Structure 1
Amino acid sequence: MRRLFTLVFLTLSSGLFSRACEVQIIPSSIVVRYGDSLSANCTSSSCKQVIGIGWESSSGGTGLQEGVFSLPLKIERVTDWEIAPMCYIAVPEQLSKKLQVTLYQMPESMYMSQPSSQMVEGQQYPIECHINNVAPVGNLSLVLLKGSEKFHTETFTESSSNPQNISSYFTLTAHRDDNENEIWCQAQLNLWPDDQGPPPMKSESRRMTVLYPPTFIESANETVEVSANGHISLNCTATGNPKPIYTWRFSYPVQEEVNNQQMNESILTSSFHLQGTYSCTASNSQGSSTKYFTVIETPVDRTSFIAIVAAFVFVGVLLVIGGLYYVKQDGTFCFKGQGPSEVI
């Protein structure tokens, strides 16, 4: 009976001890680059009656070290992609805990295909990004950038910890704003919180050439008022790739006055002021667009002229009235208020 009581007591005390004793690894997880060193420490500070501590690992294992309460793990060069070090503590029961190791390797190389030597606005073009020998793929994000814009982002769900080759395919719709912009792929390993990790790796950038038809900077048709003997300036400037060629058309009399001008210029300037409609066509290999200018003569401001004429008329009227009132039949003047002898 006494033996049974002793066995039950030892079993219960062992269970309570196990719940109070924990294996602690500092740090509890570690991120290490392939080929770099690794170090961690296992401790049993909360445990009593510790027989010993040991590390089990494919590299750097220590075996059971008796009479210690902490034991470091040191690996000079981590090369095992499946490494999973485990610390164990020998007490009346054996306790163990694994060190979480994330082993990574940045891509050995990256490559992005050239979309096309020349792209046409509105058409779609395939783009391929290739990443060689990267790990772990589950932490990889691939970003396609054009200029400062993130055009596409892709993540991967592979669970393997070994390095892999990754290929990704995108479709780009060409736009005139992309002309002369650079495009490239960027690989990022997100190994720490908030998507932190080693500096991203970039592929060689590709410069895009996008062909698009002419578009006038000021697209609306214009009405231009010109004063007599004034100058006109008609602006037909357009953007386009290739650079637009300009053609002006107008009535024959005007043609004679401007035949010495270069008719392929975007701005037409002249001192003539013949009224009429002028058209400008901007064209390139991708299309053409026409803009119309209606030239009219500015109405003459006759306010000053009318005022001057009115002044002269007013003075003339005063003279006529004065003549009727003061001039006698014999041509002499007679002023009111003077006697008969006061005749000039």
Structure 2
Amino acid sequence: MGSLFLLSLLLLLVADNPGGGSPRGRNSEERVQGSSPPTPSGTSAPFWIGISPELVAVPPGSSVWLNCSNNCPLPEGSRLYTQLQRGKTLSGPGWVYYQLLNVRAWSSDVYCSVTCAGKTLTATARINTYKRPHSVVLEPPVLEGNEYTLRCHVTHVFPVGLLVVTLRSGDKVIYSESLERYTDLHLANVTLTHVLRARPCNLWQPVTCHARLSLDGLVVRSNSAPVMLTPGEVPL
């Protein structure tokens, strides 16, 4: 029989999430510009505005700095529109740095506007928070006939749409599933169920479950403790 899989997802609303939107195993972490309308009076180039970074992902409670820059020689004003808590502001010719404090909303849009020669442009940045899995647990395999049922639980993780769950036997990938189709802005539990044909080459191999979040250049990894595939009554 071929390999089959079943994926289930349970969304959990988080009580302390104002923006709407002890772990088992090992964990690790590895470590832009607006449109160009016609040139306003008094400038030598088309007026532009940019905000950087345009997309950032941070753990809940972090602070974020955003740089709003423009090429207007005499800007009439620069403003930041956000529901997040504001911190310090630093400025210089053509740029303003804004600090946002204690970011806890799952997803927030921040708008920077600059007016030059009576014309106003706006640039947008998005700040997402992420939650590494509270736990990654691989259940002991269940042997029925000549098939193992492997079930992995990834708990309290966000954002689910950036999660990839992988089952490995030693260094070999047994199965991998990307959950990019899920766009809900809620903390979630994910269960991956995979059926593996019992073969002699699979016996006495350590099997692990790996959860990976890829967040705009930051990769967060968590994995389960290994379980062993034992022969039981498997015909060899």
Note the residue ranges of structure 1 that are not aligned, 5 or more in a row: 1-13, 214-285, 288-344
Match of 1:242 in 2: none
Q: Distance in 2 between matches of 1:15 and 1:192?
A: 33
Q: What amino acid does structure 2 have at the position aligned with 1:20?
A: P
Q: Distance in 2 between matches of 1:192 and 1:28?
A: 10
Bigger Rg, which one: 1
Tell whether 2:87 aligns with 1:58. no
Match of 1:245 in 2: none
Deviations 1:267-291 (A, max 9, x none): xxxxxxxxxxxxxxxxxxx58xxxx
Tell whether 2:186 aligns with 1:162. yes
Q: Deviation at 1:104?
A: 1.6
Q: Distance in 1 between matches of 2:213 and 2:62?
A: 17
Query: Aligned to 1:20, what secondary structure does the other structure show?
Result: coil
Match of 1:222 in 2: none
Q: Distance in 2 between matches of 1:136 and 1:128?
A: 21
Match of 2:222 in 1: 201
Structure with greater proportional helix content: 1
TM-score of the pair, normalised by structure 1: 0.50
In 1, are the aligned partners of 2:40 and 2:119 still within 8 Å (CA)?
A: no
Match of 2:147 in 1: 124
- Pick closer, same or farther for the CA change 1:30–1:22 going to 2, 3 Å: same
Q: Deviation at 1:40?
A: 1.5
Q: What amino acid does structure 2 have at the position aligned with 1:74?
A: Q
Counterpart mapping for 1:181-330 below 5 A: 181-192=205-216, 197-198=219-220, 200-211=221-232
How many residue pairs match? The answer is 193
Q: Deviation at 1:51?
A: 1.2
Q: Distance in 2 between matches of 1:150 and 1:123?
A: 20
Q: Deviation at 1:61?
A: 4.6
Match of 1:27 in 2: 53
- The alignment yields a C-alpha RMSD, in angstroms, of 2.9
Q: What amino acid does structure 2 have at the position aligned with 1:97?
A: A
In 1, are the aligned partners of 2:160 and 2:182 still within 8 Å (CA)?
A: yes
Match of 1:43 in 2: 69
In 2, are the aligned partners of 1:131 and 1:167 still within 8 Å (CA)?
A: yes
Q: Deviation at 1:101?
A: 2.6
Match of 2:167 in 1: 144
Note the residue ranges of structure 2 that are not aligned, 5 or more in a row: 1-36
Q: Deviation at 1:134?
A: 1.1
Q: Distance in 1 between matches of 2:51 and 2:65?
A: 11
Q: Distance in 2 between matches of 1:23 and 1:60?
A: 23
Query: Aligned to 1:177, what secondary structure does the other structure show?
Result: helix
Which runs of at least 4 in structure 1 moved beyond 3 Å after TM superposition? none
Q: Distance in 2 between matches of 1:147 and 1:26?
A: 41
Structure with greater proportional strand content: 2
